[in-house]
Structure 1
Amino acid sequence: DIRVVDGTWFMPAEGRSGHEEYLQVHIPGAVFFDIDAIADRASDLPHMLPTPEAFARAAGALGLPREADIVVYDTHGIRSAARVWWTLRVMGYPKVHVLDGGLKKWLAERRPVEPGEIFPRAVELPPMFDAALVRDADEVRALLSSGEARIIDARAASRFTGEAPEPRAGLRSGHMPGAANVPWEGVIAEDGTLKSARDLKAVFKTAGVNLAKPVVTSCGSGVTASVLALALARIGLNRVAVYDGSWTEWGGLPDTPVVTGP
Structure 2
Amino acid sequence: MPLDSAPVPRLDLLLARSSGLGRRAATRAIRAGRLTRHDGTPWTDAKERVPPSHLPLTVRLDGEPLVLREHVHVLQHKPAGVVTARSDRRHATAYELLAGAPLHRHLRAVGRLDLDTTGLLLWTTDGTWVHRLAHPKYGIERTYEALLDRPPAPCPEDLVLDDGHRPEIRRIETVPDEKAHPGLLRPAPGPVCRIVLVGGKFHEVKRIFAALGSRVLALCRTAYGPWRLPVTLPAGGWVEIDRRAGPGA
Q: Same fold (TM over 0.5)?
A: no
Normalized per residue, which structure has more strand? 2
Larger Rg: 2
> Whose helix fraction is larger, Structure 1's or Structure 2's?
1
Q: TM-score range by the shorter chain?
A: under 0.3
- TM superposition score normalised by structure 1: 0.27
